[in-house]
Chain A
Amino acid sequence: MATAERLVRSWMASEKDSEVDESVAGISSGQLTLLEIIRALGEFLTSEEDRLRTKGVEFLSSVLGRCPHERLNRQAIRVLTTFYCSKLEDLETIIPALNGLSYLVKFPNIQSAEVKDVLNAIFANVKMRALVQSTRFFVFSIVDSLIASHRDTLKEMGSTFLAGYVNLAVGEKDPRNLMLAFAIARVVLVEFDTHARIEDFFDITFCYFPITFRPPPDDPYGISADDLKQSLRLCLSATPAFGLLGIPVFLEKLTAGSPSTKRDTLHAMDVCLPVYGSTVSREFGKKIWSSLKLEIFQPTDPDTEHSALNTLQVLVRTMHTDKSQDAVSEDSITGLARDMCSECMQALKEPEKAPARAAMKVVCAFARADEISMTQNEVSNRASVVMLLTELIEACWGDATNASISQSSHSTLSPLTASKDALLGLLIVSLKAPATCLPALHGLTALVRTPELVADDELGYIVLEVSELLRKEPDEVEDVTTDTLALLSAIAGIAPHHLSSQTLPILISFLPDVTPSRDATTQRAFYWRALSSLSALCVQPQLFETLVVRLIAKLDLLCAISPTRTIDQESTTAYAHAILTALANTLDVKVSSKDVDVPKYAEQLLPHMFKLYLDAALASSEVVAIAADPRLLQVGARIIRLVSQTLNVARQEKLVAAVFAAYTQGDVKLITGGLLNSTTLFAPLHASATFTFPSYIPRQRNSFTLFSSAIVSLRKEVRMPVDNLSTFLSELVAWSDNPSSTAFQREAAVPHVSDFLTFQLEGYSSSALKNTSIPAEARKNAINTWISVTRALLVRSHPSANAFIDHLFELLDDSTVDWDAARAIGLLASEDVVLTKRNNAVFKILHVQKYFNAVMPRLLEGVKGSRKETAYLVALAYLINVVPKAVYVTQMPSLMPILLRGLDLDDPSIRSHIINTLSNNIEITSADKDAVSMYASTLVLAMLKNCMYSEMPDPGVRAAALKYLALLPGTVRYDLLHPYKTRVLKELAKVLDDPKRAVRKEAVIARYGMITFSDELVSFYVS
């Protein structure tokens, strides 16, 4: 008792710490109780004198601050609480009282009733603005301690607490207090129901954003700006409810702020966006993007740019994480992402400019964001995500291949490499679902095409998975075959061994050894699908080799000569034809792309082909020999021609020697590479043989097409292994003139003949062409031969060509063959399938023009005066149709009336030639206005007549006429056509019911053109 009194009094006099320590020691040891001290303080605590009262409370608080917690029981705490609360009302004691309370609330024995009392008293009496920093600090630490230990009580207090606290916190400026205030605010926002007061809390937190505090030089508080920023950020990101209010603030600061503010804002957004959620992000997505775009595309400094990219990633990720959204909002998300992407793509299109690199970075940011969101997404929106992913892989690829910006390609490849495994996994999984299959295929293609990205074993994995797709039955709606093949072909260029071990076996297993029966449509579709896939994939040399071996084996099986007619010959032939076509198609692609491995197939493929065909040709006509079918021979000839085109001189000579040995001497050993040994005589060229061996000679003669296909592409240096070329040629001509030759055989022989210069034919012309005594049919054949030969002369501008042409003109007077001769004159200028660069033919430039200039005047003259004007007209029509329009454009005005006259000719091909010519020239002729306009009415009526089914049986002419009608509205003034519009529409309505689909299609277009061809122009002309 006495001790307490002594201590109190001496403290009141001296204010020395030692007295406080002694009291605390006394309490700790049990010699003193707090109660005794309070009693000793009694007079001071209630003193009238302000100073004494303050000091009394101060002493009590100091003692309390150091007093061991277990020394106070609940009773004592209750008393002390009530005491302090009452002291809060006293202006003089408020400071020590708050100090005391700040210690008191830390005692474990304090009860919720007391907590409420303390807070209510504080809310009621403390005016923060009137207090100094240290005192306010007590208030914050009281609230802080209470939140730490009595959170439930505070929650019970509900809005009283929230409102009270907001009142306390508002306007706080000192960093030390703010640190506490932020911590409190975060807890409150996270744990309390702040829904009703969200705006208040928004005010007391966002008003500090962004923090511009700079610690004073000696840093007395030990608080840095970063600490503050950190804890404020935690507050801002405490609740999703801030989203709608907060983002506009962020955006505002972002546009207005200094670089450091911007960075701060971006960091805050990084933390906040995921909390605010996808709904808000979506709502503000566009605005955020446009702000970020500014930072990225026109960066103030690298740091800010980096932060902006980071934020963008967060944004995308946030938008994609929400799983519970409906389809419509889903679209808007991907819509925004797509907008972003496409903007970047736009920038990427100009890689030399600065934005491209920025866009690249955006896209890479996407890559990282997407990859994470993908795993969380539902199947419904995968497709679009995969699509975006593909776009960006493609973008990375396009950028990486662009050598001009090598620095950025380094930085772009790295993100892809880093996320390669994840990407691969995702894309492979996406392959399985029909909806995502197509985008996944595109994605894989893009991946595979990215240089140095996918490792070999990974390629193997891709091939394995993708090949499975080929196994499936094609889906009617989502046909992915083309894209699958594109992907596999891309891989074939890099790692063919995967394909040959995994894909080819699958495809080849679709090719049955036995032909499917006639009604097995699906099986047929399957084998053709497999064959087209194979021919698309096997362009690569290694794969092609495998393909050749496998397909030849199949063919040998199919075309085996069988003595009985057990198999369905027609469908087997069709199957073999399909296989050969696939082979030829692949070869065609290879030859066009000048693959170097083609020539070796002269040894690997051609002997097999010759064996196949010659074996069949030698078979007697009683047995079934599939390969003797002319249609198969045609494809075979195509293959032989393709290979032969690529051979060099030495190899061509070898090949020619072999085929000559076979066809002139009957020795088939050389050409078939020893595969065929036949006892039957092979003599296709033997004219008299027709009668001696009637049973199999037609087949042998048919096989002549193979001979000609090997020969047509010979280079001019290649020497023919015959003693006298002219004799051989005249024999050939005689052979082809033989009445027993079929059209097919002749077709084979003629191009060959034409390939070589010959003067022998002078005599031929007099004997065959002009000999009126032989049948017209034979003379027509002769004319066809004549065309080929003359054309061969023409293309190298040989002087004797003119003499040949003269013969044709003479024939125009002969009424039996005039038409054919006229056609021949026209066709001479046309292009030919045999005389092409690929077949090593030698061309003189402008030969067509020269020919045209030579022939045209004669024809025009003939049309005007001669009695055989029809024949001249025909020749003219054919000629004009085949020459380039630049050649005759200047003569068009004089040609127009002649052509219109030609429309009255009966022959459908003449009519369609003329109409085509007119169509081709419609722009040119309309340029000098009159040509078409003058004849507009005539033309319309003529075309209408030609497009009616009842008037013109030939659908080609009907379609051509309709095409012309469709062109008219674009070229002729409306007022000229107006009188005919109604009639044309009415007539065309009938044509819409034409039996031919292609004609109807043209009619629809023509009619549409007429319907829309109208009033605006009229009003234009009228006004």
Chain B
Amino acid sequence: MNGEIFNANPTVYASKRSTRKSKFEAGQSLWIDEQYQPEFSSESEVEPIDEDEIFDLIRSIADPEHPNSLEELRVVSAEQIKMGDNHIMVEFTPTVPHCGMSTLIGLSIRVRLMRSLPQRFKVDIRVKPGSHQSELAVNKQLNDKERVAAALENSALVETLEKCLSLLDDTTAGSKC
């Protein structure tokens, strides 16, 4: 934002299409192909919101510094999401310990989940322990309702946030075809 780049050359990893396993891979079905199965297999079957779905929501968020998604930079990963009963715990790993963008990244994750999840969920967002020099401050800031609300009053900040979040359309379109 002030022109300073905290990590000028991050390692970029390949992004995977989907972490979700098919029914065959998950051992639920003996049959390999789902091509005969309609898209909506049965009307009564409930598909609960799971870790993979949360990951699908946040993987495409753009990094504030680079033209890469958080998944490509391994800031977020499927393993770092834990789900309990109406409770979601998202952990993320800044690329460098002095990354000043951590709060912004955390905030964009929070906003994405806030917009995309039913209200019954409580979301906790944390920096991966030991991966940031001011871990506690960042965690506190991200999980304080008032502070998040205050941050979202700041129109400049919201504008930056929207830029991070705007990747959504491309990737969802991409993962479908």
Which residues of A does B touch, CB under 8 Å? 328, 331-332, 334-335, 438, 479, 518-519, 521, 524-525, 528, 570-571, 574, 577-578, 581, 631, 953-956, 959, 989-990, 992-993, 995-998, 1000-1001, 1004-1005, 1007-1008, 1011-1012
Closest residue on chain B to residue A573 by CB atoms: B30
Tell me if B137 counts as interface (CB < 8 A to partner A): no
Tell me if B119 counts as interface (CB < 8 A to partner A): yes
B115 and A1011 within 8 A (CB) = yes
Give A773 to B53 CA distance when docked, in angstroms. 53
B30 and A528 within 8 A (CB) = no
Tell me if B136 counts as interface (CB < 8 A to partner A): no
Tell me if B169 counts as interface (CB < 8 A to partner A): yes
Selected contact of A438 from candidates B14, B48, B117, CB within 8 Å: B14
In B110-154, the 8 Å CB interface with A consists of 115-120
A1008 and B115 within 8 A (CB) = yes
Q: How far is the CB of A555 from chain B (nearest CB, A)?
A: 15
Selected contact of B116 from candidates A335, A570, A571, A992, CB within 8 Å: A992
B30 and A571 within 8 A (CB) = yes
B120 and A1004 within 8 A (CB) = no
Q: How far is the CB of B132 from chain A (nearest CB, A)?
A: 16
Taking CB atoms, residues of chain A closer than 8 Å to B43 are 953-955
Give the interface size bracket for B toward A: 35 or more
A992 and B47 within 8 A (CB) = no
Given A581-B32, A1005-B172, is A521 in contact with B39 using a C-beta cutoff of 8 Å?
no
Give A371 to B118 CA distance when docked, in angstroms. 55
B10 and A331 within 8 A (CB) = yes
A335 and B9 within 8 A (CB) = yes
For chain B, what secondary structure do more than half of its interface residues adopt (helix, strand, loop), or is it mixed? loop
Give A581 to B35 CA distance when docked, in angstroms. 11
Give the interface centre of A518, A959, A989, A1007 by most chain B CB atoms within 10 Å. Answer: A989
A1005 and B49 within 8 A (CB) = no
Give A458 to B18 CA distance when docked, in angstroms. 36
Give A989 to B115 CA distance when docked, in angstroms. 8
Which residues of B does A touch, CB under 8 Å? 8-11, 14, 16, 24-27, 30-33, 39-40, 43, 45-49, 53, 56-57, 96, 115-120, 162, 165-166, 168-169, 172
A1005 and B168 within 8 A (CB) = yes
A1007 and B116 within 8 A (CB) = yes
A1008 and B118 within 8 A (CB) = no
B116 and A956 within 8 A (CB) = no
Give the interface centre of B8, B9, B27, B116 by most chain A CB atoms within 10 Å. Answer: B9
**25 A-B residue contacts at CB 8 Å?**
A331-B9, A335-B9, A479-B16, A518-B30, A521-B26, A524-B24, A525-B25, A525-B27, A577-B31, A581-B32, A631-B31, A953-B43, A955-B40, A956-B40, A992-B117, A992-B118, A995-B45, A995-B46, A997-B47, A998-B39, A998-B40, A1001-B56, A1004-B115, A1008-B165, A1012-B166
Taking CB atoms, residues of chain A closer than 8 Å to B49 are 1000
A332 and B9 within 8 A (CB) = yes
Closest residue on chain A to residue B169 by CB atoms: A1005
7 tightest CB-CB pairs across the interface, nearest first?
A521-B27, A993-B118, A574-B30, A331-B9, A335-B9, A995-B46, A955-B40
Q: How far is the CB of B13 from chain A (nearest CB, A)?
A: 9
Taking CB atoms, residues of chain B closer than 8 Å to A574 are 30-32
Give A581 to B116 CA distance when docked, in angstroms. 38
B119 and A331 within 8 A (CB) = no
Q: How far is the CB of A116 from chain B (nearest CB, A)?
A: 54
Taking CB atoms, residues of chain B closer than 8 Å to A954 are 40, 43
Q: How far is the CB of B72 from chain A (nearest CB, A)?
A: 14
A524 and B30 within 8 A (CB) = yes
Taking CB atoms, residues of chain B closer than 8 Å to A998 are 39-40
Taking CB atoms, residues of chain B closer than 8 Å to A334 are 9
A524 and B27 within 8 A (CB) = yes
Closest residue on chain B to residue A527 by CB atoms: B32
Closest residue on chain B to residue A958 by CB atoms: B40
Closest residue on chain A to residue B26 by CB atoms: A521
Taking CB atoms, residues of chain A closer than 8 Å to B32 are 528, 574, 577-578, 581
Q: How far is the CB of B16 from chain A (nearest CB, A)?
A: 8
Selected contact of A997 from candidates B53, B117, B119, CB within 8 Å: B53
Taking CB atoms, residues of chain B closer than 8 Å to A521 are 26-27
B119 and A989 within 8 A (CB) = yes
Taking CB atoms, residues of chain A closer than 8 Å to B25 are 525
Closest residue on chain B to residue A992 by CB atoms: B118
Given A955-B40, A1005-B172, is A996 in contact with B47 using a C-beta cutoff of 8 Å?
yes
Closest residue on chain A to residue B50 by CB atoms: A997
Q: How far is the CB of B36 from chain A (nearest CB, A)?
A: 8
Give A519 to B27 CA distance when docked, in angstroms. 8
B47 and A528 within 8 A (CB) = no
Give A809 to B119 CA distance when docked, in angstroms. 51
Taking CB atoms, residues of chain B closer than 8 Å to A993 are 118, 120
Give A577 to B24 CA distance when docked, in angstroms. 13
Taking CB atoms, residues of chain B closer than 8 Å to A328 are 96
Taking CB atoms, residues of chain A closer than 8 Å to B16 are 479
A995 and B47 within 8 A (CB) = yes
Closest residue on chain B to residue A335 by CB atoms: B9
Closest residue on chain B to residue A518 by CB atoms: B30
Taking CB atoms, residues of chain A closer than 8 Å to B169 are 1005, 1008
Closest residue on chain B to residue A577 by CB atoms: B31
Selected contact of B172 from candidates A528, A989, A1001, CB within 8 Å: A1001
Give A438 to B10 CA distance when docked, in angstroms. 18
Give A438 to B120 CA distance when docked, in angstroms. 42
Closest residue on chain B to residue A985 by CB atoms: B115
Given A1004-B115, A1012-B162, is A581 in contact with B27 using a C-beta cutoff of 8 Å?
no
Taking CB atoms, residues of chain B closer than 8 Å to A1012 are 162, 166
Give the interface centre of B96, B115, B172 by most chain A CB atoms within 10 Å. Answer: B115
